Homo-oligomer: A and B are copies of this chain.
């Protein structure tokens, strides 16, 4: 394997596709959102990217079969619009790796003719959330204005440490290629996998891109998470949780 190994699974012609990235991060918000799109719109795997910049790791599927650390691009048709959805279980292992991987992802997106991109993620608040605001950032002022009209909030000095990892570099390196990129960050406590925050992010995305998506399965996961939170709260007085419960904690 070279530094990157890009596996071709399908080669559809896409019409003005939009890149939507949802790799793991705070509250797994971006990952949950991207995976929800894949499930609801029956995404077709088009590329799989392996790289020595990913962790040296395989995951074991429920049937005992292993999968090497990778990221995947799926084609999704949502409301007549072509999306190229980037998802996976890993970020890079170090800073240089993040730069190299993101360049590789932008190359793949470019090969499909992507001219607009969204990076999805979460922003930690440190406390449990009632109203899920979505914060934004973008490579350009026009993008910022469009996001603002869709209800995205822009707050001075947030997110405090800037945006890091692949999401941050999609913006930074995308701009170097004249690709307009917007980042949608759902507020989330930062302590748990947060399907509600993922829903808030998707609601903004669907308004911006003009598609309709059902949230029933995200709602179910949100309810499961609420059960977990309750059990954790009970733990402080009562018996220990089972492994099954803890499995949901990201």
Set B52, B58, B95, B138: member contacting A93, Cβ < 8 A: B95
Complex contacts, A1 vs chain B, CB 8 Å: 99, 103, 173, 176
Copies in the complex: 4
Q: In the assembled complex, how far is the CB of residue A169 from the closest CB belonging to chain B, in whole angstroms?
A: 5
Contact-size category for A: 35 or more
Q: Mark A59-88, 1 if CB is under 8 A from B, else 0.
A: 110111111110000000000000000000
Asked if A53 is an interface residue, CB under 8 A from chain B, the answer is: yes
A169 and B138 within 8 A (CB) = no
A94 within 8 A of B: yes
Q: Is the CB of A221 closer than 8 A to any CB of chain B?
A: no
A91 to B, closest residue via Cβ: B56
List, in ascending order, chain B residues with CB within 8 A of A59's CB. 162
Tell me whether A216 is interfacial, beta carbon within 8 Å: no
Contact B172 A69 (CB under 8 A): yes
CB distance from A98 to the nearest CB of B (A): 3
Stretch at the interface among A12-20, A139-147, A191-199, A205-213: A139-147
Query: Which one, B98, B102, B144, B243, contacts A64 given CB within 8 A?
Result: B144
Are B66 and A138 within 8 A (Cβ)? yes
**CB-based contact A137/B169 at 8 Å:** no
Flag if A138 contacts B65 (CB, 8 Å): yes
Cβ 8 A contact of A140, one of B65, B97, B183: B65
Tell me whether B172 and A60 are in contact (CB under 8 A).
no
A residues sitting closer than 8 Å to B (CB atoms) are: 1, 5, 50, 52-60, 62-69, 92-100, 102-103, 136-141, 144, 147-148, 154, 156-159, 161-166, 168-169, 171-173, 175-176, 183, 243, 247
Chain A to chain B: the 8 pairs with minimum beta-carbon distance, closest first: A68-B172, A56-B98, A52-B99, A64-B154, A93-B95, A64-B144, A59-B162, A58-B172
Since A67-B172, A69-B172 are in contact, a sample of 7 more A-B pairs with Cβ atoms closer than 8 Å, ordered by chain A residue number, is A55-B95, A57-B169, A58-B137, A58-B171, A60-B162, A60-B163, A66-B172
